[in-house]
Structure 1
Amino acid sequence: MYLIPYSVVQIFNAINIFIQYPSVIINILIIYISFRKVNSSLPRTYCLNISIPSLLCSLHQIARDITERTVFKDHEETSDPTYTKIVKVLDTMLPQSTLNLYLFQTTLTVVLAYIGFSKPFLYKRLTKTRAISYAFIVSQALSWLLAAGSTVENFSLYPLDDDFDRTALCIHTWARAATQLTLFAVMGLLYLLTIVRLTMYACRTQIYSSGQQSRWLILRSVLIYCTPPNVFIAVGVAGSYCSAVILTLIPVDRMFFVSTCTPVKHVAEQLITPRLFVTSLSALFAFADYRKAITSMFSEIVRRKKKLFFVTARTVSS
């Protein structure tokens, strides 16, 4: 069995802890801009649904790190078992629900952006109802449901003595993995269709209406946003599959897969925090409304600094 060296794991842990702090700042900034600077739109709805869970996940990781460095620093082995159990549940539930939410809501957002560009009248009918809001709510519920399944898997002890328990565990484990693989495949297909549609649109020379141009920009922004996180998601989906293989196969069959699957699973787990960070960071640069808001905020800060500098200089000179 080939595992990641402990020194590499330590480096990953240090990087993950460090990333949490800028992640908190970025997600708070996204939430602030969404409520104060950006009008209601598909990108705004998506960014809020992603940034709030990501913020909670980062705050939990920071709180856990601070607690372990202070309260339980000198007596790790005698730590409160209730605290340990709660932390283990949150360590699985919060990151997994956020990652599942990315899969669900990115797929949903790409679908809606694609419909908005290719079928604008259908998109208008959808926006006039609560269908889109209900879809995002359902994706939230499904994300937490899959995260609960992952938590059950992590707390399951292998081997299981009861055949019924083993069967139930196998069914829900492979159902979770199949759902994640299906979502990734659908998102990948829509990703390719979007590239084709955007390329065809860019090659045309006729003048388009401002509405169609706006929908094209939104679709392009969604495509740009999806690209960096999807590199990490591919590793995450592979890790999800490997986790299902390791957990559900009997020992004889499992040995053929474990030497390859175990490192992939560990790498996927270590990349959870960078994936969430890249997901949040991409939103600030992919969507035009957020880029404009950030530029406006920094321009205002610079203007005030210059004004304060000139006032101070005049006061000193006088």
Structure 2
Amino acid sequence: MLDWVFIVGTIDEMLVYPVFALSALLIFLSLAAVPPSLSRTYCLNLAVPSFSVTFVAIVIVWREAPGLLFVWIALGYYILLLSSFLEFFASFGYLYFSALTIFLAYVGYAKPLLFPVLTKTRNVVFMFAFGHIWASIAVVTLFPRNIPVVFLGMSADIDFSSVMIVQVFIVIFLYMAMVVLFVLTIVKMRQHAVNVIGNASVSAVHRRVLKSMLIYCTLPNVFAGIALPTYIYSTILEVNGFTRPSHWANTAEMRAWKSTDYLSRPFAGLSYSTGNIRLLANVFTALIAFHDYRVAMKKGLRRIVVPILNAMKISKHNTSIVTFYVDPLFHIPSSRTHVRDARCG
């Protein structure tokens, strides 16, 4: 299993640059080309963490460049800490933002009168801001050995199992809620129960958003499900005291356990080795699933490709009509020229 984890991890490292580029494209389209909508709000909140974590990862890759060596020695630890934080923040943020967005889209389809109330600007800002706050807290509480102990200097023998259990239940609840909403959406759309109130186009818009969410959530949900056992397993280790130094006879014994037992767990190793794969699934499917982003990309491609094709056509046309001047002094007449001259004479 470890061989497969190593292979997957190698592939995952190679995906840093594609995720960075697609996240940047998603942010650019959200700010410059896509009109305000629920899907745009969702994609923007999803793309920013993905862009941030891959940017930091690229900085880490280039940390040994001569010009950055001194800065890396001074800030290297903080950059690694930030990278770890952003990676898990993106994962937890996906769970919350996806569950929230598909819930709002479902409400817009099943309860059209309630949808305008929930999607007021103030309410949307509050709900998504709460998601950022919760995701930040979840990273700290589900992985307390990284930030509270190492960075904040808290005692390594503190029992964090209570807060970890609470956060694990929240994560599981969000994932199950997203799956339930996913199933309810499919059932609702199969029944074709469209409530037309005031304007049929409103229901059509919500229906289109729901279809986009169904397309979008399928693949990322699979990768999100793969990560769940990691959180559960980490909590079990904390509850049983394996992560506390006082549980072991000495530091060497604890280090030996960390290097063998913990990393050999298939789900844990696979989860830690698929961070960029999950991010790629998130941003790529967002670009192709939502109608507004597909339209924006088509328009962008036309603006780039059409001028190039026109320039190529003009260049080809000019080449075909180019004539060369030949001095009569150097002109070598052919037999046809002699015949024509004789007739004229």
TM over 0.5, yes or no? yes
How many Å separate the matches in 2 of 1:33 and 1:39?
9
Aligned residues of 1:284 and 1:291 also touching (Cα < 8 A):
yes
Cα distance 1:279–1:57, how it changes in 2: closer, same or farther (>3 A)?
A: same
> What is the deviation of 1:177?
1.6
Per-residue CA deviation, residues 11-32 of structure 1 (Å, 9 max, x unaligned), is 3343223211111111111111
- 1:113 alignment counterpart: 105
- 1:193 paired residue among 177, 184, 201: 184
Aligned residues of 1:243 and 1:261 also touching (Cα < 8 A):
no
User: TM-score scaled by structure 1?
Assistant: 0.84
How many Å separate the matches in 2 of 1:250 and 1:152?
13
Per-residue CA deviation, residues 149-174 of structure 1 (Å, 9 max, x unaligned), is 244233659xxxx89x543x111222
Cα distance 1:176–1:84, how it changes in 2: closer, same or farther (>3 A)?
A: farther
User: TM-score scaled by structure 2?
Assistant: 0.78
Aligned length: 297
- 1:175 paired residue among 163, 166, 174: 166
Cα distance 1:230–1:261, how it changes in 2: closer, same or farther (>3 A)?
A: farther
How many Å separate the matches in 1 of 2:136 and 2:91?
10
- 1:144 alignment counterpart: 136
> What is the deviation of 1:203?
10
- State the secondary structure of the residue aligned to 2:2: coil
Aligned residues of 1:242 and 1:262 also touching (Cα < 8 A):
no
Cα distance 1:4–1:154, how it changes in 2: closer, same or farther (>3 A)?
A: farther
> What is the deviation of 1:132?
1.4
How many Å separate the matches in 1 of 2:24 and 2:68?
29
State, as a whole percentage, how many aligned pairs show the same letter. Answer: 26
- 2:2 alignment counterpart: 4
Per-residue CA deviation, residues 88-126 of structure 1 (Å, 9 max, x unaligned), is 312320111111110111110011001111111111122
Aligned residues of 2:106 and 2:210 also touching (Cα < 8 A):
yes
- 1:267 paired residue among 241, 253, 270: 270
Matching of residue 245 in structure 1 with residue 211 in structure 2? no
> What is the deviation of 1:250?
3.8
Matching of residue 314 in structure 1 with residue 317 in structure 2? yes
> What is the deviation of 1:68?
4.5
- 2:80 paired residue among 85, 88, 109: 88
- State the secondary structure of the residue aligned to 1:40: coil
Cα distance 1:71–1:150, how it changes in 2: closer, same or farther (>3 A)?
A: farther
> What is the deviation of 1:36?
1.9
Amino acid corresponding to residue 16 of structure 1 in structure 2: D
Aligned residues of 1:57 and 1:95 also touching (Cα < 8 A):
yes
How many Å separate the matches in 2 of 1:246 and 1:262?
12
Q: Which structure would you say has the larger Rg?
A: 2
- 1:76 alignment counterpart: none
Aligned residues of 1:95 and 1:272 also touching (Cα < 8 A):
yes
Per-residue CA deviation, residues 256-313 of structure 1 (Å, 9 max, x unaligned), is xx68982211111111110011100010111011111112222332211210101222
- State the secondary structure of the residue aligned to 1:121: coil
| Worse-superposed segment, 278-287 or 290-299 | 290-299
Aligned-residue RMSD, C-alpha = 3.0
Amino acid corresponding to residue 286 of structure 1 in structure 2: A
Name structure 1 gaps, 5 residues minimum. Answer: 74-78
Per-residue CA deviation, residues 56-105 of structure 1 (Å, 9 max, x unaligned), is 111111110121476899xxxxx84x644313312320111111110111
| Worse-superposed segment, 272-281 or 28-37 | 28-37
| Worse-superposed segment, 127-136 or 192-201 | 127-136
How many Å separate the matches in 1 of 2:265 and 2:146?
14
